[in-house]
Amino acid sequence: MNQSSSDKPGSDKTGTTHFGFRDVPTGEKQKLVGKVFSSVASKYDLMNDLMSLGVHRVWKRYFVGTAQVKRGDRVLDLAGGTGDIALLLRDRVGDAGSIVLGDINGEMLRVGRDRMTDMGKVAGFEYVQMNAEKLPFPDGSFDLVTIAFGLRNVTDKDAALREMHRVLKVGGQARVLEFSEVKADWFKPIYDFHSFKVLPQLGKLFANDSDSYQYLAESIRKHPPQDELKAMMQAAGFARCDYRNLSGGIVAIHTGYKV
C-alpha cells in the first residue's frame, strides 16, 4: 500500500501516478478512469450487487444514516454516479433541503439523473459534471460533503480533500466511504481471490468487460489505508478526524469537520 514519490496524490502533472497496478503519466489517469466508468455505467448497480453480494447497500445506508445532516441542509455528493447516496440523503434533508449530485463522468451522471427521473424524484436534486480536484462552488456552500467509492479514482486526492474542506460551512462534516485495508490475516487470501479472480470474471459475464473490473480491484489495493487517509484529511484542514471499519476493514468510513 505504500506509495512511491511519483504515486503520491499531489504528484506533478508531468510525473507519473498509478492506474491500478500500472504507472501512467499523471495527466492521463483522469482519461483512463473516465473510460472505465463510461464502460461500466449501464451495469454499475448490477455489478455492485454481484461483487458485494448486496452488502454495498448496507454500507451505504449506514454511511448516510450516521451522517451529520438535518432537514433543510444543502449537501454535495461527489462521485455521485448512479445516485445511491443522493437518494438516501434526500430523505434526510427533506423537502426544504437540496442535494448536488456531482460526478466527473457524464455517462455515470446521466444514469443517476435518469434513474431519479424514472422514480419521480425530481425536486431537490441538481446534477453537475465536475472534477473533485477543483469544485465549482464558493467557499462555505454546503453543510455536508460526501464521497462514496470515488476518492480512490481521483488523481490528486489531497487536492480533492482540500476542496471538500473549502466548500464546507464552518461546523460542516465531510464523509468518505471507501474500500480500505482488510484487517484479519486469515481473510486476506480469500479477499484477494475474490478481487482478482472472481470480479474480472463477473465483469466479463455480466458487463462484457473484465479489464475495467480488474482495474477496480487493483485500485482498491493502491488506495491509502485507514490511518494514512486519516492523516491526509488532517493535512487538508479537517478537525476531529476519525474512521470506522465496516466488514472487517473491507470498507471504512472516514469523517472530518470544518472548524
Q: Which residues are annotated as a binding site for S-adenosyl-L-methionine?
A: 82, 103, 131-132
DSSP string, the chain: ----GGGSTT--TTSEEEETTEEEEHHHHHHHHHHHHHHHGGGHHHHHHHHHTTHHHHHHHHHHHTS---TT-EEEEET-TTSHHHHHHHHHHTTT-EEEEEES-HHHHHHHHHHHHHTT--TTEEEEE-BTTB-SS-TT-EEEEEEES-GGG-S-HHHHHHHHHHHEEEEEEEEEEEE-----TTTHHHHHHIIIIIHHHHHHHHHS-HHHHHHHHHHHHHS--HHHHHHHHHHTT-EEEEEEEEGGGTEEEEEEE--
Binding residues: 82, 103, 131-132
